[in-house]
Chains A and B, each alone.
Chain A
């Protein structure tokens, strides 16, 4: 069975500071990992995905994530936060053609 743990339900950073959102996964088979972003009153949008090609994955809006098998982690980072990054972020895992299993989400606040 697959599961995802997102550490920190709420993260607050200053504008221009590093963004780090943590995600650890559990999977009995090589996983496919995703980060989705949800802006207020909207659906989820794909931010980036890991599919066993490169361990460092670049996504939209300057975000990237690194797959670390030894740590079972897939943390999301962005070097410099922007006010428009304020949203909720979800990490998700699947072994393949099965429904995604989502973490509980991390709300990112950006302070001017």
Chain B
């Protein structure tokens, strides 16, 4: 079982460049999430989606964009990369029918902006 798959695993960007972090899940989960993890700060929610065509901002959405055209895919777009976006990014998915809302995580994308 693949679960949640993120690509790429590592990336180095120059300031001002753009890129898309890919996330796909094969569990037919309606809910998907993007988090960033910085040392000592835990995980902060960037954006989330409750289904295809529906997205909402999390705690730290500035500088990012998302789209959700299919149930499986939830890409995260960085338009003008800045050093403050150097971080590890995690995608997750969950099933809203289960009240517990257990989230399943991908392995992460480590991004450096120089």
Contact = CB atoms under 8 A, between A and B. Distances in A.
Choose among A34, A43, A90, A105 the residue with the greatest number of B CB atoms under 10 Å from its CB: A43
Contacts, number: 54
Interface string B64-101: 00000000000000000000000000101000100111
B42 A43 contact: no
A103 B37 CA distance: 11
Interface in B93-114: 96, 99-108
B61 to A, nearest CB: 12
B90 A99 contact: no
Nearest to B99: A96
Interface residues of B, number: 25
Contact of A44 (B31, B40, B90, B96): B90
Interface of A: 9, 32, 34, 36, 41-46, 49, 51, 90, 94, 96-100, 102-105
Interface of B: 4, 31, 33, 35, 40-45, 48, 58, 90, 92, 96, 99-108
